[in-house]
Structure 1
Amino acid sequence: MKTTIRNILGEVARLDVPLATLADNDDLYAAGLSSLATVHVMLALENAFDIEIPDQMLTRQLFRSVDSLAAAVETIRRQQEAA
């Protein structure tokens, strides 16, 4: 899952630093993630994982790191499977 998230970030996030230099818990905003890029990341995640990110989860914290994105995707998938 984190590989897919990293691929998405590499395609749409336009970070200021090479993605390969970032650890999974590094701050993506400090690496140059913009608010516009978060929208592109959100749409790409929803498409790649066949999920819908609920409005209440759309916070700055969600997009903070690869780890936070992976945790959110996993939570949403579990919730959708349980429904």
Structure 2
Amino acid sequence: MSASVHVDRIRNVLEKFGRLPITIAEVAADDDLYDKGLTSHASVNVMIGLEDEFDVEFPDALLQKSTFASIESIAAAVDSLLAG
């Protein structure tokens, strides 16, 4: 599966846990989520939601702001975790 296949599921997790002040439909895949209102605290909740949704665990190497900066970057990270 390509990263783009996971985008809808990632958007659902962001809608549920991201606490963005706008709807997730207003966010383009390459928009900076932090500029759109994602906080550090909410990003932790998003990470946990993604781990549950995709049955993966984010390793320490991916626990950085850039991993959760956009839907595209999250999709790339999830894709790499699913690829093993």
Q: TM-score, normalised by structure 2?
A: 0.90
- Higher relative contact order structure (alpha carbons within 8 Å, sequence separation ≥ 6): 2
Q: Report the number of matched residues.
A: 79
1:52 alignment partner in structure 2: 57
Q: Structure 2 regions of 5+ residues with no counterpart?
A: 1-5
Q: C-alpha deviations, 1:25-80, integer Å up to 9, x for none?
A: 0000000000000110000100110101001111010000000000000001112x
Larger-gyration structure (1/2): 1
1:34 alignment partner in structure 2: 39
Which one of 24, 28, 33 corresponds to residue 23 of structure 1? 28
The amino acid that maps onto 1:54 is: P
The amino acid that maps onto 2:14 is: L
Which one of 57, 71, 74 corresponds to residue 79 of structure 2? 74
The answer to which structure has the higher helix fraction is 2
Q: TM-score, normalised by structure 1?
A: 0.92
Distance (whole Å) between structure 2 residues aligned to residue 21 and residue 57 of structure 1: 26
2:3 alignment partner in structure 1: none
Q: Structure 1 regions of 5+ residues with no counterpart?
A: none
Q: Percent identity?
A: 43
